Amino acid sequence: MTGHDRPVATWSPHLVSAAGIEVRAGVDRVELAEFKRVMHTGGVAFLRTVFTERELGHCCGRLDRLAARFTAKEAATKALGTGLRGLSLTEIEVISHPSGQPELHLAGRAADRAAELGVRSISVSLTHTSRAAEAFVVALVNSNTLISTTHKETSL
C-alpha cells in the first residue's frame, strides 16, 4: 500500500447483518396545518391521487388519520429507495387491523420494487399529535452480499 492508496471507511444508509438480511428504513413527518392547506387546495383530486377508497373510508375525513397515512406512504418510498419517482402513492396502502395496528399493502410498481429488492417483510408505525403526523417504515430485505467497508482512495 502506497501513501496514496489507503483504506477509508464508507457509510451506507442500510444495515446488513451477517445472516444476509438488510434493514432499510424510511421516515416522514408533516405538519397538520400544512397538510390541511394542501388538501384544501388539491381537493378531491388530491385525495384520489394519494389515497385508496379503503383508506378514505377508514379515515372518515379525519385530518390526523389522512396525514399519518400520507407520511407512511412517503416513508415507504424512502425505504424502497425510490422516493416518489416511478410510483403512485395509491400503490402503497395503509390499512388498519381491528386492533388498530397499521399494515402496508404494496401493489403495482411498489410491489415490483419490493420484489426487486427482495423485501421479506415491511412494517409501519404511525403517530400524530394535534400539530403533526409521522410515520416510520422498516423493511427487511434479503442481501446476498455484505456491503464492503473499505475501498482504495487514490490521489491524482
- Is residue 29 one of the residues assigned to a domain? yes
Cell of 126: 404511525
Is pLDDT above 70 for 7?
Answer: no
What is the pLDDT at residue 19?
A: 66
For residue 146, give the nearest of 10, 26, 27, 6 by alpha carbon. 10
| Residue-wise pLDDT tens digits, 95-141 | 999 999 999 999 999 999 999 999 999 999 999 999 999 999 999 99
The answer to whether residues 81 and 24 touch, using CB atoms and an 8 Å cutoff, is yes
- Is residue 63 one of the residues assigned to a domain? yes
Is pLDDT above 90 for 11?
Answer: no
Alpha helices in the chain (DSSP H): 32-50, 53-59, 63-79, 108-117
- Is residue 73 one of the residues assigned to a domain? yes
* DSSP code of residue 147: P
What is the pLDDT at residue 10?
A: 43
* DSSP code of residue 129: -
What is the pLDDT at residue 22?
A: 87
- Is residue 103 one of the residues assigned to a domain? yes
- Distance (Å, rounded) from C-alpha 137 to C-alpha 132? 17
What is the residue range of 111's domain?
14-146
What is the pLDDT at residue 16?
A: 54
What is the pLDDT at residue 148?
A: 34
Q: Residue 15 — very low, low, confident or very high, per pLDDT cuts 50/70/90?
A: low
Phi, psi of 126 (to 5 degrees): -115, 145
- Between 23 and 92, the more confident residue is 92
- Is residue 5 one of the residues assigned to a domain? no
Q: Average model confidence (pLDDT) for the chain?
A: 84
The answer to whether residues 128 and 134 touch, using CB atoms and an 8 Å cutoff, is yes
What is the pLDDT at residue 136?
A: 97
Tell me the whole-structure pTM to 2 decimals.
0.80
- Is residue 106 one of the residues assigned to a domain? yes
- Between 119 and 4, the more confident residue is 119
What is the domain-level CATH number for residue 47? Answer: 3.90.470.20
- Is residue 1 one of the residues assigned to a domain? no
Please name the residue that has the C-alpha cell 429507495.
81
- Is residue 9 one of the residues assigned to a domain? no
The answer to whether residues 79 and 138 touch, using CB atoms and an 8 Å cutoff, is yes
| Residue-wise pLDDT tens digits, 70-92 | 999 999 999 999 888 889 999 99
Total domains, the chain: 1
